[in-house]
Amino acid sequence: MKKIALLLTAGLAAWGCAEDDFGTTTGGLTTVPYSLTAVYEPNIPAANASITLVNINTNDSYELVTDENGFAYVANLLPGTYNISGSNKLNNEQFETIFGYAETNDEINFNGNLNNTVINANFAPGKIKLAQAKTGNLVIKQVYYAGSDALKGAVMRDQFIEIYNNSNQLLYADGLYIALLHGATTLNPSAANAPYTLSSGQWDWSKSSGMSIIGGDANTDYVYADYVVQIPGNGSQYPIEPGKSIVIAQTGINHKQPLSNDGKDYKIDNPDLTVDLSEADFEAYLGDFRKSIGKEPFASDIENPAVPNVNIAFWGIPGAYFGNTDLILNPQGTDSFVIFKDEDFILYKFFPLPNVVNVSGSTPHYIQIPVNKIIDGVDAQHFRPSSARPKMLPSHIDATSISVSNQYNSSAIIRKIKSTTPDGRIILQDTNNSNNDFIEMKANPKGFATN
């Protein structure tokens, strides 16, 4: 990926680069100017904001900085479709000067995005709104969805999600929900699906059968999931100390060792490619659930009695359960992940995809999760840029997205270290911008990023 940095001051571009990058024609295509304004809510110019434009076809990115009026300008930009993200960081003194009231945090982050933006000679100046990032004490620290080599490793059996206490207070995992979100898988919907999608390419959930939202918006105030699990407990049964984490394994066993179950043998030719999850804090054993719906348990879904099971909170509706036979994360990176708590989960509604006109008892439904209940979220992205999908999360939860370089490569996305306190507690970076907060690294449960 070619990354091009531009420093914009008072609307004038000042940079030095090769003519190949910014000539008036590139590969036979005429470049065009583009400008945008970054603002905080309600309409306050966002000075010194970082703006990134990523061409979704070439994966080239352009880095900009707004002037004191929140204005950014590119003189020569290759026409195309771009994902545009913006971010800024203020200290509490800067925050109070701009907004007129104090903020308790030492550092306040703002994020925004304009995804699937078509830029050509007929462009209209853009406007990106930067919303204050929502930060929580629990954060998603690591997601290992890529899996390991299908012949020498454990394929997808060794996947896990790690949740970290980023605060200085004792917290409890009891009742925490972990959801895999569902959304459109292409930026360019078919002609048949186009009437049911937003300009970003994401589903327009407001058009789902039976949708009724009072005082809110189906697309901005909610996300939709096909799989949800919950940490059990009575409220104070599973503590997470400051600077500590919990690992939720798909299967809580040592995947470095050969596996034999129900007459099937799974070899591990290279143990270094996979991980030991025998000491995971929780596992997603679906054997009992599968039997309860008249299905056979997954052959490699082994229950470790020493590892507590998560509760299966949502796997679809009766008559239309989803096909995952275990807590299988898509190894290509097409899932997004959120954690949340809500005592009213049982009251949550579920809806079919917007393009389903005739709903029957066998129609898949997706559970609707209020954005204001989300503690933390991460938008993963397909490892292949040409297969990029629309974002699922709003910008104040995650402004961008993150991916690993390939499927089955033993890599996880893991949150960067921000700082270490004098007593040794590690504070992880949490700007609600996954492209800034995470790196790709070999999966390492309870390990830390090597920034």
> How far apart (Å, rounded) are the C-alpha atoms in residues 256 and 243?
27
Share of the chain above pLDDT 70, in %: 93
CA angle 218, 248, 169 (to 5 degrees): 85
- The reply to whether omega before 42 is within 30° of 0 (cis) is yes
Three-state SS string across 257-313, please?
A: CCEEECCEEECCCCHHHCCECCCCCEECCCHHHHHHCCCCCCCCCCCCCCCCECEEE
The token duo for 373 is 């209940």
Place of tokens 């799974």: 266
Question: Is 174 exposed, middle or buried (CB count within 10 Å of its CB: 0-12, 13-18, 19+)?
Answer: middle
Nearest partner of 40 among 121, 133, 171, judged by Cα: 133
pLDDT (mean) for 179-188: 95
Q: How many residues does the chain have?
A: 451
Please give the single-letter amino acid code of residue 181: L
Chain mean pLDDT for the chain: 90
pLDDT confidence of 123, banded at 50, 70, 90?
Answer: confident
pTM score, two decimals? 0.82
Report residue 386: phi and psi, to 5°: -70, -15
- Beta partners for 360? none
Q: For the chain, which domains are there?
A: 3-132 (2.60.40.10), 138-442 (no CATH)
CA-based end-to-end distance of the chain? 20
Summarize pLDDT for 28-48 with one digit per residue, the tens.
578 899 999 999 988 899 999
> How far apart (Å, rounded) are the C-alpha atoms in residues 191 and 182?
21
Is the pLDDT score of 6 beyond 60? no
> How far apart (Å, rounded) are the C-alpha atoms in residues 160 and 428?
19
Is the pLDDT score of 18 beyond 80? no
> How far apart (Å, rounded) are the C-alpha atoms in residues 196 and 201?
9
Report residue 210: phi and psi, to 5°: 85, 0
Summarize pLDDT for 217-260 with one digit per residue, the tens.
999 999 999 999 999 999 999 999 999 999 999 999 999 999 88
CA angle 53, 55, 61 (to 5 degrees): 50
pLDDT (mean) for 375-392: 94
Nearest partner of 243 among 442, 398, 446, judged by Cα: 446
Summarize pLDDT for 48-84 with one digit per residue, the tens.
999 999 888 888 888 999 999 999 998 888 899 898 9
pLDDT (mean) for 179-206: 95
DSSP string, 206-230: GGSTT---SSS-TTTSEEEEEEEEE
Question: Is 20 exposed, middle or buried (CB count within 10 Å of its CB: 0-12, 13-18, 19+)?
Answer: exposed
CB atoms within 10 A of CB 168: 12
> How far apart (Å, rounded) are the C-alpha atoms in residues 33 and 394?
28
CB atoms within 10 A of CB 273: 22
pLDDT (mean) for 320-337: 96
> How far apart (Å, rounded) are the C-alpha atoms in residues 330 and 55?
24
CA dist list (Å): 78 to 11, 29, 385: 19, 7, 17
Identify each DSSP E strand in 105-187 by its residue range. Answer: 107-119, 126-132, 138-144, 160-165, 171-172, 177-181
Report residue 196: phi and psi, to 5°: -110, 15
User: What residues contact 194, with CB distance under 8 A and at least 6 apart?
Assistant: none
